[in-house]
Chains A and B, each alone.
Chain A
């Protein structure tokens, strides 16, 4: 006869109610773990999906994902020619935004109501009426080379040389939709999935030239001003040689208006080529910085995302401690409710280990069921989070191991109390 199960069956509302509470708490813990993994995956997505072995960036910079990196466009030809290089793909990438009308979600409406009710903790009143600036990462690549969208879930890839884009589904754009980026209109010809920057901004892929125009070409009025300024400076300098004024002016203008540069070159190595040797050659002869794909991911994680990852990890640890304390109190309280029964069992001659096993079994069952409930709820909730949340069954197993330890420790407290129960308490009352 298993007393633990008999007790649970009889007090099922109390037990399963408490277990549900534990499960909800563990769901939060698993979610935070999923958010941490989401950040890591988001940081790694573009780099990993590009499939490059090496990332070549401007010397002295940490690369396009962390800080501004500019290298001349023609450099990728020189890299392509190096021994051991299978492919050198020129890439540009930077943030861009479009302004769209706000389409409030229920969560946004709730936040708005919260504001209206006077707390003003989240947003200012009128927030829902403001237009929304939607940010995304534009990646420019040469179609047919690495660095483009890894999968197309709807529509097609970029085929025309200009004015076509492929967008991640999280942009909210649809195939066939036209939008203005920079000074030109572009058509969405395809959609991709799970392609986001390290801060979860969705990606828009464009051809290299289009992306350079979108990201680097200045406003026409500003450009005209700049042109006049450069011309006047060059003409002033060329007063001693009037014949040189026109060609010098044209050259200076073209330099000022040049948008044909890259942020990085993604390098795929030939099979058997040594990444270290190729990187050394690029660094020595081309005066550039070279990072391995893993190092590039690490730069993001330990740079841009370091503090938020630490923050979440600390919070997760605090939650683990809180969960332990709460499970401990629940088990302790359930044991306190059975003090009289424990005294009767002791008086009937039940072995102490059977009493302690009953407490431990209940604690473990609560921990295991709570973890499963938490995991199922977390997996069910994942798609509704605005950012990527990716808990795995591996996380659940880890959580289970931690909770088994926590539940065992928590039940020790209750067992200690049970040990102190005096069988005499049921006699003479």
Chain B
């Protein structure tokens, strides 16, 4: 089976000479569609750098990123914004919904970015809101939503463009254990039902019970897999 996303021998170095810092060293991973994948590690271990490389906002110093069977940095300048809006979805620690848009509009936005508008977009947004059980909050602004509701709307936004891969950056960090586990179970369910590869960066060991694969990073290297 093909992978939704692959990282091969990724390295990332900042600075030169004495100020040279190697934050990622030969990191490789591969995630299949429908798989829930966790990246764990302490602060400064390179989790976020790995996430930004996989999220196509940072170019690796060495190595390859293969997204949906496309080698991204293949000696040419790829349209990263286009790839992000078509093939990736993002979930953040603090939801990061656009505050001046309603829950529904936050979901409509990525759809509009890929050219889906009108009835089709509204229908898909309503479907996602129902799926994530926040349909009654559709016309509320983020400030009127609870933490859990915000995170559900953020997940719906990440799913809107039907991405190949969803990158979730500490999605449970701002929630209590019960709500955190609920979000992880939801991600589990989504990856199974929507056949979307989901990579979760977390430092919360309680959450790994739900994931299919996990890697532990330390000082920019993978030190453990499971």
Contact of B109 among A7, A348, A424 (CB under 8 A): A348
Q: A6-B101, A428-B169 are in contact. Are A349 and B85 (CB under 8 A)?
A: yes
Known: A1-B112, A348-B85, A351-B81. A429 touches B98 (CB 8 A): no
Residue-wise, chain B 142-160 has the 8 Å CB interface mask toward A (1 for contact) of 0000000000000001000
Chain B nearest Cβ from A328, distance in angstroms:
22
Interface of A is mostly: helix
Q: How far is the CA of A429 from the CA of B43 in the complex (A)?
A: 11
B99 within 8 A of A: yes
**Bound-state Cα–Cα, A199 to B90, Å:** 70
Within 8 A of B (CB), among A375-427: 422-424, 426-427
A1-24 contacts to B, CB under 8 A, are 1, 3, 6-7, 9-11
Are A427 and B51 closer than 8 Å at their CB atoms?
yes
Inter-subunit contact A428/B48 (CB<8 Å): yes
Let me know if A347 and B99 touch, CB within 8 A.
Answer: no
Q: Does A345 contact B (CB under 8 A)?
A: yes
Q: How large is the interface on B (under 10, 10 to 19, 20 to 34, 35 or more residues)?
A: 20 to 34
Q: Is the CB of B81 within 8 A of A1?
A: no
Distance of B171 from chain A, by nearest CB (Å): 12
CA of A3 to CA of B98 in the docked complex: distance in angstroms? Answer: 10
Task: Give complex CA distance A1, B116 in Å.
Answer: 11
A280 beta carbon closer than 8 Å to chain B: no
CB distance from B87 to the nearest CB of A (A): 9
Answer whether residue A341 sits at the interface, using C-beta atoms and an 8 A cutoff.
Answer: yes
Closest to B86 in A: A349
State whether B90 touches A424 (Cβ < 8 A): no
Q: Do A428 and B94 contact each other (CB < 8 Å), given the known contacts A1-B109, A348-B85, A349-B84?
A: no
Residues of A within 8 A of B84 (CB): 347-349
- B52 close to A427 (CB less than 8 A): yes
* A residues less than 8 Å from B86 (CB atoms): 349
Most buried by A among B58, B81, B157: B81
Q: Does B93 contact A (CB under 8 A)?
A: yes
Bound Cα distance A261, B147 (Å) = 92
Choice from B88, B92, B105, B108 contacting A427 with Cβ under 8 Å: B92
The residue in chain A whose Cβ has the minimal distance to the Cβ of B81 is A349
Structural contact, B57 and A427, CB atoms closer than 8 A: yes
**A160 to B27 CA separation, bound complex (whole angstroms):** 109
Bound Cα distance from A295 to B52, whole angstroms: 74
B141 touches A10 (CB 8 A): yes
A9 touches B100 (CB 8 A): yes
Which residues of the other chain, B, contact A9 by a CB distance below 8 angstroms?
Answer: 100
Q: List chain B residues, Cβ under 8 A from A341.
A: 98-100
Chain B residue with the shortest CB-CB distance to A11: B100
Q: Are A344 and B51 in contact (CB under 8 A)?
A: no
Q: Contacts A10-B141, A347-B55, A428-B169 given: A1-B100 contact, CB under 8 Å?
A: no
Inter-subunit contact A344/B98 (CB<8 Å): yes
CA distance in complex: A223, B81 (Å): 96
Q: Could you give, for residues 74-109 of chain B, a 1 whenever the CB lies within 8 Å of some chain A CB and a 0 otherwise?
A: 000000011111101010111010111100010011
> Are A348 and B52 touching (Cβ within 8 A)?
no
Asked whether B113 is an interface residue with its Cβ less than 8 Å from the other chain, the reply is yes
Interface check A340, CB cutoff 8 A: yes
Chain B neighbourhood of A348, CB < 8 A = 84-85, 90, 109-110, 113, 157
Question: What is the distance, in angstroms, from A361's C-beta to the closest C-beta of chain B?
Answer: 14
User: Does the CB pair B51–A428 fall under 8 Å?
Assistant: yes
A347 to B98, alpha carbons, bound, how many Å? 12
A219 shortest CB reach to chain B, Å = 77
A350 at the interface (CB under 8 A from B): yes
Quick one: closest B residue to A7, CB to CB?
B100
Q: A1-B105, A424-B57 are in contact. List 8 more A-B contacts (CB 8 A).
A: A6-B101, A10-B100, A340-B96, A348-B85, A349-B81, A349-B110, A422-B57, A427-B52
> Could you name 14 residue pairs across A and B whose Cβ atoms are closer than 8 Å?
A1-B108, A7-B100, A10-B101, A344-B92, A345-B98, A346-B81, A348-B90, A349-B86, A422-B57, A426-B92, A427-B90, A428-B51, A428-B52, A428-B169
Question: CB within 8 Å of A: which residues of B?
Answer: 47-48, 51-52, 55, 57-58, 81-86, 88, 90, 92-94, 96, 98-101, 105, 108-110, 112-113, 141, 157, 169
